[in-house]
Amino acid sequence: MSTDTSTDLATENPDNPGRRAEPTLPELGALGSLRFVWRQLTSMRTALFLLLLLAIAAVPGSIFPQRNIDAGRVADYIAQHPSSAPWLDRFGFFDVFSSPWFSAIYLLLFVSLVGCIIPRTKVHLKALRARPPRAPARLSRLDQHAELTTDLSPDEALAAARELLKRKRFRLHSHDDVSLSGESGYLRETGNLIFHLSLTGIIVGMAVGHLFGWRGDVILPEGEKFASSAGTYNTYAPGPWVNDEQLPPFVLGLDKLDVQFNKVPGKGFGMPREFTAYTSLSPGPGQPATPESVSVNHPLTVDGADIFLLGNGYTPVITVKNAKGEVLYREATPFLPQDADYRSVGVIKVSALPTPKQLGITGFFLPTAEPTFVNGPVSLFPDTENPEVALSIWEGTLFPGNAPQSVYTLDTDQMKQVTKADGSPALVRLKPGETYQIPGGRGSITFESVKRFAGLSVRTDPGAPISLVSAILATGGLILGLTIKRRRVFVRVRPVVASAGGPDGDQATPATVVTIGGLSKDSDAGLASIVDALHDHLAERKDRS
């Protein structure tokens, strides 16, 4: 940098004689400081540093559970690590990819990238129009060089060189009569710029997807229908700029969910083999439905939204009656699977009763119950070989303070567990078709049957095509930028008079000394072969003439 201030020069300060002057740093000023910061930020070393920092910063996202993937695991982790977890949470280790520090790194990286590609694009556009530079005086100083003497005249030699280099797609120019300059590999920088520009395109696509995309998840039991709208999804996550009124109004009915598991004993027993949802889809309410199937890897597309089959489980149909035999509750209630063998948990909230006499029933559904329960409620296989529910019953106020709560959890703050006459908790085990009489004349619970449910996710991402096209362009640019070499080849000719001992005695014949030089910015194994080829080409010409 040119900010070299030499303090060794003992300049006297005229205003304050006798004292050595303070070293006078040139005043950068606000603009100058900004420019300095900008230069630092857009330097390759900074970009390199940010790139490595980005890699390191991403790693905690794989070590700590992340809220965007599994909020439940984050809650478990916090419960298990009461001392460290709050600090980790404060520094965003459970939301790494939306944390300020991670965002800061990639934003700086992209600012640095843009600051690098804009000036480079200008330089490159200029280079694309420019002629190859004048040939250096001494080509023997270049990385690759060769020399030969030929009978060709200087013009003929240059023409021969031009012919070969043209074939090898060099851009050529002669600045004078005795030299030729050639340059090739402009696509290298073009590729580099396309690659880096396309990376920003990927980010733009991600931003568009974030702003205009939305997702809605719904749990749909077999035989039921679902009309898409912002209010009907179990969870609905719109981007900030999504208009909820404009969601596609399709109606989806789940006719049957075909699920198969591996029944061969050994490793892989109980592994899923097939999930297919047979549905009927109509584009809007009242419109005719067509049968469609959705399976893993084969989403269904309707009105720009994709419907994915992402989960499945069981919905026991449970009926609760009061002592008079009036039905208080009859629904296919989804129980959420907790493990690979579909031990599932769920809650039945009988809110048709007055507080504080409301009933909350919570417990497990086991598709293949281990009959003894020695290790508690355990399922042995994910399919319904021996379905059973194991439930406990609570009485009191279901919704204290009318606060909103999840349909999958029971708030027992204002509830008491229902007990048998001997005071022990009433534990209910039912197989399909069985009924249990709740102690104290509170009525009955019947496990009618079990149906499957499909966990469907409906998503739109208008940014995805932008990211995809950018990614493909980036790959193309990367290949060009890495494989093509920027090369310069120069040829100089110098007429000499060679004395040839011919039959006429000492007769001077004109000859030409040709020097060839090759230059490459990059380590370039191919450059030597081009110089060689040029050398051989000219040498052959000599032989022929």
Binding site for another protein (CB under 8 A): 44-45, 47-48, 51-52, 54-55, 58-59, 61-63, 66, 68-69, 73, 96-97, 140, 142-148, 206, 215, 262, 266-268, 271-275, 295-299, 306, 308, 310, 457, 459, 461, 464, 467-468, 471-472, 474-475, 478-479, 482-483, 522-523, 525, 528, 535
Closer Cβ to another protein, 307 or 359, answer by number: 307
Closer Cβ to another protein, 97 or 186, answer by number: 97
**In terms of DSSP bridges, do strands 272-282 and 327-332 run parallel, antiparallel, or are they unpaired?**
unpaired
* 150-182 core/surface letters (b: 16 or more CB in 10 A; e: else): bbbebebbbebbbebbeeeebbbbbeeebbbbb
* 19-52 core/surface letters (b: 16 or more CB in 10 A; e: else): eeeeeeeeeeeeeeeeeeeeeebbeeebbeebee
Contacts of 39-42 with CB under 8 Å at 24 or more apart are 41/108, 41/111, 41/112, 41/115, 42/112, 42/115, 42/116
Q: How far is the CB of 292 from another protein (least distance, A)?
A: 16
Q: How far is the CB of 29 from another protein (least distance, A)?
A: 29
Residue pair 366/379 in contact (Cβ under 8 Å)? The answer is yes
Q: How far is the CB of 62 from another protein (least distance, A)?
A: 4
Closer Cβ to another protein, 234 or 457, answer by number: 457
Measured between alpha carbons, how far is 404 from 34 in angstroms, rounded to an integer?
51
Q: How far is the CB of 165 from another protein (least distance, A)?
A: 19
Closer Cβ to another protein, 430 or 516, answer by number: 516
Closer Cβ to another protein, 109 or 359, answer by number: 109
Closer Cβ to another protein, 120 or 173, answer by number: 120
**In terms of DSSP bridges, do strands 179-184 and 487-502 run parallel, antiparallel, or are they unpaired?**
antiparallel
Residue pair 135/183 in contact (Cβ under 8 Å)? The answer is no
Q: Which residues pair with 450 in a beta bridge?
A: 316
Q: How far is the CB of 393 from another protein (least distance, A)?
A: 34
Other beta carbons less than 10 A from residue 10's beta carbon: 7
Q: How far is the CB of 16 from another protein (least distance, A)?
A: 42
Closer Cβ to another protein, 478 or 533, answer by number: 478
Amino acid at 270: G
**Concatenated DSSP letters for 202-241?**
HHHHHHHHHHH-EEEEEEEETT-EEE-STTTSSEEEE-TT
Q: How far is the CB of 409 from another protein (least distance, A)?
A: 23
Q: How far is the CB of 107 from another protein (least distance, A)?
A: 16
Closer Cβ to another protein, 377 or 477, answer by number: 477
